[in-house]
Amino acid sequence: MDVNQVAKLANLPLDKHKQELFASQLTAILAFVSKLQKVSTKNVQPTAQVTGLNNVYREDVVDQLRILTQAQALSNAKKTHNGYFVVPSVWT
Amino acid sequence: MDIKDLTIQKALEGYRKRQFSAVEVVSACLENVRRYNREYNVLLTVRDEKDIIEEAEHVDSLLPLGGIPIVLKDLFLTDSVRTTAGSKVLEHYTPVYDATVVRKLKAAGAIIIGKANQDAWAHGSSGENSDFGPTANAYSKNLVAGGSSSGSAVAVALGMCIAATGTDTGGSIRVPAAWNKLVGFKPTYGRVSRYGIIAMASSLDSIGHITKDVADSAYVLSITAGKDPLDATTADKALGEWRPAKTLADVCIGIAKELPCGDEARSFEALGARLVPVELPHILSALETYYVIVPSEVSSNLARYDGLRFGDGRSAFGAEAKRRIMIGTYALSSGYYDAYYKTASKVRTLICRDFAKAFEHVDVILAPVTPTPPPNIGEKVNDPLALYRADIYTVPVNLAGLPALSLPSGIQFIGPQWSEEKLFSIGNAYELHAHYRH
């Protein structure tokens, strides 16, 4: 695994010192789970969920009791401005 | 009134008979918080004592949990009470709404003492992955409490509350319950709403609780269970009524060589149960299956913690969280998805099938909860794989979405989906036979 590349995909800041330690631990974990390749899974369908439920719908109506006020929605943000969340620039 | 002896049933009876009051009971809990919390590192947040006493003074004792002190695992969003998931990422996070289960417990009159320490994001089976330090085992301060619901178990064992909520994705209720000599309950996936509970692996997370006895466990479930329009994975299935059973004369208990129980199985024959061998060959691959599917779902669920709308940003993630996010990202990435995630999902099907076949012949399956007793704090912390192996007997249950009840002696019963009442009956019979002291 290219730890650098995966950390980038996962948006995880990783300092160089940690990279080597993670690389060896992740290699060990991947070696462990790769044992699954040996299990015979021919013609077996994958399981994504075990509820047996399908297409659970609700009416397209607004539930007033569940709406957060703007103040509530912003209350845990580190940076806000005029009632907006402040995010880092996406233009690089 | 000794809080350590009190079960929910005994407390409610004591209130009814005016032998003691809710104020006395919560005061005793708060005294135990003062006495033990620093040493054992149990609760990350304790609610204001004045608020707790005032609630106890005014609570309607006719409510099902009226005046019963409880502790919530810190994954349960609690309106206006800091909720951290055991992680520095959420160290300063205060929810603005309650999880459905929290709302139900409050409506039933339960009094929330505080929020329990846990492995960060529920990643762990010892409690040592908490970003706020591990919780010590209630019976020996050198030993791990078990995890990830470590604080929940120890809070009950040390008399800080009478019951505590937890989550179980791979054993996180059953392991700490067993290692602190308590009853741990994991419901069928979809029995209890996950709304407002910080997600770990959304297709495995189960919402349960830790109590002192089986009757209390069944009682709490009667309050938390139910279809929730806010959680589309909850089912519209009525909870069966459990009946206390003195014998197990018409019960068939499955024993699998993959889940070695040793002598425990004989106690059940003494109670009249029939022991039947079953085969669960694919659970020998359950741990590998789990450690592909869970990190994959984790990598998705933890993507939201970008430090913008809430939380302190992704550099605050601890090492285990980072490891799991990276394993999951890799397993789901282009070129590796088929070999890892899709393969694991197929093996998951085989595990589900093994259980379904076994349950054609038996009512429940008996299994140990863990392969070993609790290790010393710090013993395994440098080897992630060693810690993962503590879950070999618990993870198959979550992959198949089954209910399981773990008992203070370190065994668990696994039932088919929706069979909770059967687990409680059998557990209750075993409990009476084993004469547990609370």
Cβ of A47 within 8 Å of Cβ of B349? The answer is yes
Per-residue pLDDT of B226-240, as tens digits, reads: 999 999 999 999 999
What phi and psi values does residue B211 have, to the nearest 5 degrees? -135, 175
Q: Which residue has the tokens 């209750």?
A: B428
Q: How crowded is residue B407: how many other Cβ atoms within 10 Å of its Cβ? A: 26
* B139 neighbors B269 (Cβ within 8 angstroms): no
How confident is the prediction for chain B on average, in pLDDT?
96
Q: What CA–CA distance (Å, rounded) separates B104 from B272?
A: 38
Cβ of B329 within 8 Å of Cβ of A85? The answer is no
pTM over 0.80: yes
Per-residue pLDDT of B306-364, as tens digits, reads: 999 999 999 999 999 999 999 999 999 999 999 999 999 999 999 999 999 999 999 99
A&B contacts, CB < 8 Å: 145
Per-residue pLDDT of A39-65, as tens digits, reads: 999 999 999 999 999 999 989 999 888
| Token couple for B99 | 């999880």
Cβ of B309 within 8 Å of Cβ of A1? The answer is no
User: What is the chain A residue with the closest CA to B231?
Assistant: A56
Of A12, A28, A53, the CB nearest to B314: A12
Q: What is the dihedral of CA B252, B258, B260, B265, to 10 degrees?
A: 10
* B102 neighbors B110 (Cβ within 8 angstroms): no
* B43 neighbors B71 (Cβ within 8 angstroms): yes
Mutant choice from B191, B296, B299, B327 vs A, greatest count of A C-beta within 10 A: B327
With beta carbons under 8 A apart, name residues in chain B contacting A22. Answer: 319, 322-323, 326
User: What is the chain A residue with the closest CA to B292?
Assistant: A33
Would you say residue B438 has pLDDT above 60? no
Angle at B365 between CA B359 and CA B369, to 5 degrees: 145
User: What is the chain B residue with the closest CA to A76?
Assistant: B310
For range B180-184, the mean pLDDT: 98
B-contacting residues of A 66-85, CB under 8 Å? Answer: 66, 68, 72-73, 75-79, 85
For range B184-213, the mean pLDDT: 98
Residue B435 pLDDT class (50, 70, 90 cuts): low
Q: Residue length, chain B?
A: 438
* B319 neighbors A14 (Cβ within 8 angstroms): no
Q: How crowded is residue A58: how many other Cβ atoms within 10 Å of its Cβ? A: 9
Query: Considering chain B, what percentage of its residues have pLDDT values greater than 70?
Result: 99
Omega cis (within 30) before B148: yes
Q: Which helix (H) or strand (E) holds B304?
A: none
Active-site residue set of B: 73, 148, 172
